[in-house]
């Protein structure tokens, strides 16, 4: 039996240093074998610093993906490249967006990708939602909604393409695979205050291309099991779109970073 600590949407830039230390102490008190972090750790200027701090205090492998906030005030390729350098410096840090499948145990594997809300779920054209992403991330800023849509589509496609590369390989090797991502891969996993997102919010909260890719792959593997761990909406909920697919969305509160769940595998 292994103990895995999963955290999502910890937004450490919203809290004082003492609260970060307290969270790290709580993680260590669980004596985890590994830690999973599902993105929205900080912003571009401090995400590497927070990850280093976690890696220096928690002497176990740390597998992570990034969330939309982690790119704020920079650009997506710049921050993703910085993560490559960071993981080169810290043996225990692994950015799943750039990684091959990982063995958590001999029968349980791990894959992941940041994901991105790709504008495909709900009603993008009539949505009046304007996320800070569209002002604070270089690629997405300064465009009209109509021009931003293909960019969101492409970010979703990139996430799905990585999953198409790593998930079938992982399913060959492992009976049960965990997929760590930031953005819910389908609307039924997009929880907010006990409800799934409506047509107005869903375009900005669902990575639909990743979801359809997951379902396509898992339909062909009824002998295997997939558990998706996601966040982004800050609302907790669970859904089972197929007998062999379980999606858990982690809740979160700004200013109160906490362990989302302990997984005993």
> Where along the sequence are the contacts to Fe ion (CB under 5 A)?
40, 67-68, 232
CB of 228 to Fe ion, least distance (A): 16
248 phi and psi, to 5 degrees? -110, 120
Residue 148, CA distances (Å) to 118, 129, 155, 156, 173 in order: 10, 13, 11, 13, 38
Q: Which is nearer to Fe ion, 71 or 174 (CB)?
A: 71
Q: Please, how many CA atoms are within 13 Å of residue 164, restricted to the half-sphere of its CB?
A: 12
Q: Which is nearer to Fe ion, 192 or 232 (CB)?
A: 232
CB of 140 to Fe ion, least distance (A): 14
**Helical ranges in the chain per DSSP H:** 17-29, 47-57, 76-89, 133-136, 145-173, 208-219
Q: Which is nearer to Fe ion, 32 or 67 (CB)?
A: 67
CB of 138 to Fe ion, least distance (A): 17
CB of 130 to Fe ion, least distance (A): 15
CB of 125 to Fe ion, least distance (A): 23
Residue 211, CA distances (Å) to 10, 187, 247 in order: 24, 9, 10
Q: Which is nearer to Fe ion, 170 or 179 (CB)?
A: 179
| Lookup: tokens for 58 | 């928690």
Residue 159, CA distances (Å) to 66, 82, 207 in order: 12, 18, 8
Q: Which is nearer to Fe ion, 65 or 226 (CB)?
A: 65
């Amino acid at each position: 039996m292994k103990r895995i600590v999963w955290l999502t949407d910890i937004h450490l830039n919203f809290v004082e240093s003492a609260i970060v230390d307290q969270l790290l102490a709580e993680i260590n008190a669980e004596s985890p074998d590994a830690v999973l972090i599902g993105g929205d750790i900080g912003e571009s200027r401090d995400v590497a610093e927070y990850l280093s701090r976690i890696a220096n205090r928690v002497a176990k492998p740390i597998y992570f993906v990034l969330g939309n906030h982690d790119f704020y005030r920079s650009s997506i390729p710049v921050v993703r490249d910085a993560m490559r350098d960071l993981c080169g410096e810290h043996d225990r840090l692994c950015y799943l967006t750039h990684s091959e499948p990982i063995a958590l145990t001999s029968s349980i594997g791990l894959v992941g990708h940041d994901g991105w809300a790709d504008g495909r779920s709900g009603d993008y054209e009539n949505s009046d939602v304007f996320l800070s992403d569209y002002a604070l991330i270089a690629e997405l800023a300064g465009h009209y909604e109509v021009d931003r849509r293909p960019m969101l589509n492409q970010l979703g496609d990139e996430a799905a393409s990585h999953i198409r590369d790593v998930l079938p390989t992982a399913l060959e090797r492992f009976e049960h695979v965990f997929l760590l991502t930031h953005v819910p891969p389908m609307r039924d996993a997009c929880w907010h205050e006990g409800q799934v997102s409506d047509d107005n919010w869903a375009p900005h909260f669902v990575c639909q291309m990743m979801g359809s890719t997951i379902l396509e792959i898992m339909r062909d593997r009824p002998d295997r099991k997939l558990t998706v761990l996601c966040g982004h909406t800050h609302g907790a909920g669970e859904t089972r779109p197929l007998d062999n697919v379980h999606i858990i969305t982690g809740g979160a509160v700004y200013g109160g970073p906490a362990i989302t769940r302990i997984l005993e595998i």
